[in-house]
Chain A
Amino acid sequence: MSQAEPEQLYAAREPIFPKKVYGKFRNLKWIIMIVTLGIYYLTPWIRWDRGPSLPDQAVLIDMANRRFYFFWIEIWPHEFYFVAGLLVMAGLGLFLFTSALGRVWCGYTCPQTVWTDLFILVERWIEGDRNARLRLHRQKKWDFRKARLRLTKWISWLLIAVATGGAWVFYFADAPTLMRDLFTLNAHPIAYTTIAVLTGTTFFFGGFAREQICIYACPWPRIQAAMMDEDTITVAYREWRGEPRGKGKARDGLGDCIDCNACVNVCPMGIDIRDGQQLECITCALCIDACDEMMDKVGKPRGLIDYMALTDENAERAGGKAKNIWKHVFRPRTVLYTTLWGLVGVGLVVALFMRSDIDMTVAPVRNPTYVTLSDGSIRNVYEIKLRNKHGEERPFRLTVKGDPALRVQIEGSPYETVTVPPDTAKPVRVYVVAPKGSVPAESERVDFRFWVEDVTNGERAFKDTVFNGRAN
């Protein structure tokens, strides 16, 4: 009796050597790559004048001072809902694009795709196109040429990776200063650690892991499947036109597919689109470019591999025609997503422009609830934070509106006015006093309103709170 071989649960990765391809989708991908990488690497270097006391970096996440600067917008921690709103919009945007165009995010704009594309480009420059790379891969002996090419490639990748990690940290500190500190070894260890980690991940994900990240690590492809329907545009092979495939000039009984494998050779995911829609496909459309080029050469119509929806496939099999792409894109579902997306967006913009440059929080001190003063009047204490979001210091006057007996005093000051330094939240201890025998002093609690007003320009904000009297 022989012992059965244990079944292998792990398949070794088949290396993929995507071939160079020309075409409109490839050009679109180049443009997107230049734009997205340009935004990523250059944004921290854009300057934006905010006056003398604020940073002049256009986009800055200032963790130490808890500020987020985005050109003319400044977000304080208590306005974090803007970030939540942006995340909601990002989510809805992905729903929209996925239900309309399938994995268009994966194919064109996902950082994993963009950086992998860049790494493959560098690889091609150094080691040559698919066939040269295949030969180099199969060459077992590490001669001088292989070592030189591999080393050049890895060093180039590493430089890109360092630049990627380096660009990231510039979003969190003044870029020119940090750049100088980084080179003079004066930067904070966290900056070096972050760069090291991101360099490592970029180098590994872009150079070696590549499509495995999409297939094994990323949860998004699984979620996307739930958002696609029969009208979603995906990359598909017109099997009814192409099959039976076959090489050669004699085309009797053969379909349009000349079985040249061009679509397979260019695929960065290493799949054969002619097997139908599959989990690995990121719909980058490079196979469309490759096939169109071949179809042009053999004088057949383009579109053997094409963007189409499932309904088109059924229609064409039945002898009909594919619907116009826009008819797929505009349907109730996508309109709903667009509407929701737009509503959240409009809401955020309105909130952004409605928010005041003055802001305060009022925390009534409830330990004790009230204090009796020597003349018998009743005093409540409020910890007030006055926020001045301007670049200059401003005088704020605090007043109360409610029962006319209520008087406001500020700790350590004989005045009702407090000067708040630029871009600062200043804590003030504020007393509200009700004279002996007055309504608020004798009641259990009385509602009133704090008003804060910029003395110079009259800008105002208020907060409602309560006064506790003796009966409390």
Chain B
Amino acid sequence: MAKQPEKKNGDVETTGHVWDEDLQEFNNPLPKWWVWIFYLTIIWGIWYTIAYPAWPLINEATSGYKNWSTRANVAAEIADVAERNAPANSELESVELASFVNQTDSELYGYARSAGAAVFQTWCAQCHGSGAAGAKGYPNLQDDDWLWGGDIEEIHYTISHGIRNEDDADARYSEMPAFGRDELLEPAQIEQVVNYVMSLSGEAQDAAEVEAGAVVFEENCASCHMEDGTGDRAQGAPNLTDAIWLYGGDYDTLMETVTNSRYGVMPPWSEAASPAGRLSEAEIRAVALYVHQLGGGE
């Protein structure tokens, strides 16, 4: 700090307060520039409260003559992005998907893959996981096993209409009977068929149980899962001979599956197909394409 010039009684106006006989409080004026800036800030502050949302009222705040709001700004930015993406989206809506999946070098493909990844992370990752590896009961989308079909058209249909939901009449639908709960099979028969199913994918089981299970399978399961157990995609019946299990391939899990059955659901996403849908056709195509190129696309 620069040394202040010494000031004496009478040089400067005082506040009139005196302590300890000679201790006075000087009333030095503020610098003019400071005062002017201070006045300007007051004027600016008044203008600001008129121009922008400021004064709180009962239910809301004054909106200000500029009608400025962060919510409206975000909406405008989203609309702006949507407008800029509109040409790409309309192009995407008109491409022939089956051939488009091979045009990996096209700009539109790159756009669709990025857009699809964003849609996936927003709407699909909750069940299928951010890496699309699924979880128990939620299919892994990176593998080469598909319940309802793995070409781009089938994926597109599944995403559009969903599985076993009440919201879309076109949803994929099938229902496995609860063989144990509804007493369609005896507990012993269930044990036998579980042994048989486990043997299908190469797990060594008790030969007698397997043999008996084959008969039970033939009579009760083969209509959907096919005689050889390879499943039927038209009914969403899983292939029981491969190494992939949606709920688990161990004995206890399979007992539970056959006894009480499974009923995995997926919502319809197409806003055109169902009032419950949330995605546009372009978004569905993008995310279908994204899922298709994760490693299992057929």
What residues of chain A have their CB less than 8 Å away from a CB belonging to chain B? Answer: 1, 3-7, 9, 365, 367-368, 371-376, 379, 381, 411-413, 429, 431, 436
Contact = CB atoms under 8 A, between A and B. Distances in A.
A6 B5 contact: yes
Interface stretch (B45-53, B89-97, B141-149, B165-173): B141-149
Contact of B143 (A1, A9, A371, A436): A371
Max chain B C-beta neighbours (<10 A), residue from A365, A379, A412: A412
B239 A367 contact: no
Interface residue SS majority, chain A: loop
A207 B46 CA distance: 42
Contact of A373 (B5, B102, B143, B202): B143
30 contacts: A6-B2, A7-B2, A7-B3, A365-B131, A367-B129, A367-B130, A368-B129, A368-B140, A371-B143, A371-B295, A372-B143, A372-B243, A372-B244, A373-B145, A373-B243, A374-B143, A374-B144, A374-B239, A374-B244, A376-B202, A376-B243, A379-B143, A379-B295, A381-B295, A411-B104, A411-B293, A411-B295, A412-B102, A412-B104, A431-B295
B144 A4 contact: no
Contacts of A373: 143-145, 243-244
A412 B243 contact: no
B143 A3 contact: no
A381 B141 CA distance: 13
A374 B243 contact: yes
A371 B6 contact: no
A9 B3 CA distance: 11
B11 interface: yes
Nearest to A381: B295
B242 interface: yes
Nearest to A1: B8
B20 to A, nearest CB: 22
B133 A368 contact: yes
Contact of A367 (B2, B7, B133, B244): B133
Contacts of A436: 243
B101 interface: yes
Given A367-B133, A368-B131, A375 B295 contact: no
Nearest to A413: B104
A48 to B, nearest CB: 29
Contacts of B133: 367-368, 371
Interface of B: 2-3, 5-8, 11, 101-102, 104, 129-131, 133, 140, 142-145, 202, 239, 242-244, 293, 295
B235 to A, nearest CB: 18
A7 B144 CA distance: 85
Contacts of B140: 368, 371
B6 A4 contact: yes
Contacts of A5: 5
A69 B155 CA distance: 46
Contacts of B101: 412
Given A4-B6, A373-B143, A367 B131 contact: yes
A350 B242 CA distance: 54
A377 B115 CA distance: 31
A375 B130 contact: no
A309 B209 CA distance: 103
B293 to A, nearest CB: 6
Contacts of A412: 101-102, 104, 293
Max chain B C-beta neighbours (<10 A), residue from A373, A375, A411: A373
Contact of A374 (B3, B6, B8, B242): B242
A429 B143 CA distance: 14
B2 A9 contact: yes
A367 B135 CA distance: 12
A431 to B, nearest CB: 6
Contacts of B7: 3
Contacts of A375: 242-243
A379 to B, nearest CB: 7
Nearest to B292: A412
B146 to A, nearest CB: 9
B225 to A, nearest CB: 15
A62 to B, nearest CB: 20
A8 to B, nearest CB: 10
B126 to A, nearest CB: 15
Contacts of B243: 372-376, 436
A375 B230 CA distance: 12
A411 B142 CA distance: 12
Contacts of B143: 371-374, 379
A420 to B, nearest CB: 10
A367 B140 CA distance: 12
B11 A429 contact: no
Contacts of B295: 371, 379, 381, 411, 429, 431
A5 B145 CA distance: 92
What 7 A-B pairs have minimum CB-CB distances, sorted nearest first? A367-B131, A374-B242, A368-B133, A376-B243, A374-B145, A371-B142, A412-B104
B237 to A, nearest CB: 15
Contacts of B144: 373-374
A429 B5 contact: no
Contacts of B293: 411-412, 429
B104 A3 contact: no
A102 to B, nearest CB: 35
Contacts of A379: 142-143, 295
A374 B130 CA distance: 22
Given A372-B243, A375-B242, 11 more contacts: A1-B8, A5-B5, A6-B5, A365-B131, A368-B129, A373-B143, A373-B145, A374-B144, A375-B243, A412-B293, A413-B104
A287 B163 CA distance: 91
A385 B142 CA distance: 20
Contacts of B242: 374-376
Contacts of A376: 202, 242-243
Contacts of A372: 143, 243-244
Contacts of A367: 129-131, 133
